[in-house]
Structure 1
């Protein structure tokens, strides 16, 4: 077996709290191949966001190994893009300047890249709009374009559509899939929504708490675009839901849902 783009081996992470030491992640092992779209689900407190932060290089206090492209991750870098639930755009900058971030649009190469990304996320005509003039979905598209500007090897998304209404969320799922199929950027997408996980992912990783560990990895062998009302989709959804319900039962039994 060759080297995976992202290789996580025996990852353990603990936090010190007023109540004592809390194990956030324990014995996590995961391989993500180049070009895969992985979705991660699990109840609150199972370590989903912590896992993303470690892969992003935002948290380096852990044991085990986390490698990207065969190199140990030792901190943040342009090879990793991160998208939060909130768009976190600069309110004083236009959409195109938010995408360019600290780079100058006077640079012809930057100008070309920004224009390409605006077309990719379907924001033509809103280049000079400020965040307050954009809908929630449009603002997230700007955030996605900004994360893609430096062509990261992996894009990490922490419930990016969680604050959107159902219609906008469905539209953004389609936009993100279009971006993935166009660029084949490897994506790891955290969500609480089982339908979203099955609709987007080539594999669904189910985490259980505490400590956070992988309960099951379920391949989603369905062609894109997927129909949520289709029989095959519903069968896989029920399989994921069944595992998720087992996790919830464990949480109640262990009293971990506090």
Structure 2
């Protein structure tokens, strides 16, 4: 990992509602290095998804500075891949055509890269399948492959596994790590799940709510592959949990999934 790819300085975000101004984010300062896997965790309403949308260029109404590769983020673009909570596939297209989207599979370079990505996201044999024939986890893998085909500088993932059962979620975490280790695409991953945050990340960013501020950043200096049952993993999990001590009890239970 080298110099910062993503630079966020003094970021503030407010929303106007019928009850007045709501501050969603306050004083966010954060750098993400090229090739890093960063997870962002915090209770509901702490601004995690808002932060991700600002980085993606989907929300440009804020105070502060957000730069990607040294350039100010002024709007969405193919340099920023975004994976939503639910797969957003074209139901009338097959897996391979969903990945290619507006690119023609008749172009040899597109065909080769689509085939490589299908292999990478473990969908070999499902190239001709339609979204209705896929499980939720498989559909999300198609979404990830489609984003990677555009060679984004950064991949932003907004709780992409939140609707999956525990077994599928664990499998998808392994798949995503395979993708990251093979491509070394910089990733920022929002989650409510502490185990997931520690399992995936080089660093875990912990946000406090109302307004969203960075409470702590915990380095996760574990080698891959990781075992959630290991003593080292559990010690880091406890360290992340401890950063929530000042939150009220209900927020702690919701955030930790306990």
SS in 2 for 1:5: strand
Instruction: Give the structure 2 partner of residue 71 of structure 1.
Output: 71
Q: How does 1:153-164 map to 2 (within 5 A)?
A: 153-164=153-164
For residues 110-125 of structure 1, the aligned pairs below 5 Å read 110-125=110-125
Instruction: Please give the secondary structure, in 2, of the residue aligned with 1:241.
Output: helix
Please state whether the residue corresponding to 1:16 is helix, strand or coil.
strand
Deviations 1:193-225 (A, max 9, x none): 000000000000000011111000000010011
2:241 is matched with 241
CA distance in 1, matches of 2:46, 2:186: 23
The TM-score normalised by the length of structure 1 is 0.95
Equivalent position SS for 1:90: coil
Moved beyond 6 Å, runs of 4+: none
The answer as to whether partners of 1:3 and 1:70 remain within 8 angstroms in 2 is no
The answer to whether 1:143 aligns with 2:143 is yes
Secondary structure of 2:13's aligned partner: strand
Q: What displacement does 1:181 show?
A: 0.5
Q: How many residues align?
A: 251
Matches within 5 A, 1:81-230: 81-230=81-230
TM-score (normalised: structure 2): 0.95
User: Do 1:38 and 1:202's aligned partners in 2 also have CA atoms closer than 8 Å?
Assistant: yes
Distance 1:251 1:169, change over 3 A: closer
The one-character-per-residue Cα deviations of 1:48-98 (angstroms, maximum 9, x if unpaired) are 000000000000000100000111000011111000110111111111111
In 2, Cα distance between the equivalents of 1:189 and 1:3?
A: 20
Counterpart-to-counterpart distance in 1, 2:221 and 2:115? 34
Displacement of 1:3: 4.7
Equivalent residue number for residue 255 of structure 1: none
Name the CA distance, whole Å, in 2 between partners of 1:238 and 1:86: 30
Does structure 2 retain, via aligned residues, the 8 Å contact 1:194–1:237?
yes
Which range moves more in the overlay, 125-134 or 98-107? 98-107
Q: Distance in 2 between matches of 1:80 and 1:186?
A: 10
Is the contact made by 2:89 and 2:143 (CA closer than 8 Å) also made in structure 1?
Answer: yes
Query: Are the counterparts in 1 of residues 85 and 160 from structure 2 also a CA contact under 8 Å?
Result: yes
Q: Which runs of 5+ in 2 are unaligned?
A: 253-258
- Residues 145 and 69 of structure 1: CA distance in aligned 2, closer, same or farther (over 3 Å): same
Distance 2:248 2:214 in 1: 14
Distance 1:168 1:232 in 2: 24
CA contact (8 A) 1:3 1:69 kept: no
Gaps in structure 1 of 5+ consecutive residues: 253-258
Question: SS in structure 1 opposite 2:244?
Answer: helix
State the secondary structure of the residue aligned to 1:246: coil
Q: Deviations over 1:120-144 (max 9, x none)?
A: 1010100010000001111111010
